[in-house]
Amino acid sequence: MKQLVILISGRGSNLQALLDAGLPCRIAAVVSNRADAEGLDIARAHDIPVAIVEHRDYADRDSFDAALAQAIDAFQPDIVALAGFMRILSNGFVSRYHGRLINIHPSLLPAYGGLNTHARALQDGVWIHGCTVHFVTPDLDHGPIIIQAAVPVLRDDTEQILAARVLSQEHRIYPQAIKWLCSGKIILDEHDRVKFMNREQSGFALVSPSLE
């Protein structure tokens, strides 16, 4: 059974979704850069080992990333999943876990990389927004895409309402992506593109606002 290490910084809602999903792999550890991350309590409640590597204890990003990698490698992961991990990782760290490091991002990448995605989507007046699971590369929020979910942006949406609608889809697609990885149903090909093994794609379209 493959080993999964999950990195968090906050409340751990995607961690909880992964725990609820019955993944076909073992969650070997939860690692956080914050000792007060609420998600650590979720891990402890499920008897999952935790490790804390406080970024504030290190003089620079490279030294923090070296300590973080040491903590992760102690659990010998096949997959490392960023689940609300709010640190930008160095190129060396990303290269170390090439093809094994994935992230969930609250936008339909490549649109709205970085922070404040929901506010930016509302400001631009888009009608369709969503979330993306992707492999992590040195190019921030631009790695090969595994799965996306789209949601409509409604007329009376606030940033908080839209964020909640997107988050509910994050909790659906992140477990799915990890299930595919654990079962070998997706790989990165020689061009670093996601390749599905023996899977048909749907032709379903989301139109927002709806057609009359």
pLDDT tens per residue across span 149-177: 999 999 999 999 999 999 999 999 999 99
Residues in contact with 62: Cβ distance below 8 Å, sequence separation at least 6, in sequence order: 90, 92
Domains of the chain: 3-196 (3.40.50.170)
Q: Which amino acid is at 1?
A: M
Is the pLDDT at 13 greater than 90, yes or no?
A: yes
CB-side exposure of 75: number of CA atoms within 13 Å? 24
pLDDT tens readout for residues 17-41: 999 999 999 999 999 999 999 999 9
What pLDDT is attached to residue 148? Answer: 97
Judge whether 134 counts as a catalytic residue. no
pLDDT tens readout for residues 69-110: 999 999 999 999 999 999 999 999 999 999 999 999 999 999
What pLDDT is attached to residue 194? Answer: 95
CB 178 within 8 A of CB 18: yes
pLDDT tens readout for residues 190-210: 899 999 987 777 778 889 988
Helix (H, G, I), strand (E, B) or coil at 129: strand
Q: Which of 130, 75, 84 is nearest to 103 (CA)?
A: 84
Q: pTM for the complete prediction?
A: 0.95
DSSP per-residue letters across 37-92: -THHHHHHHTT--EEE--GGGSSSHHHHHHHHHHHHHTT--SEEEESS---PPPHH
What average pLDDT score do residues 56-62 get? 95
Q: Which one of the listed residues 46, 55, 105, 134 is annotated catalytic?
A: 105
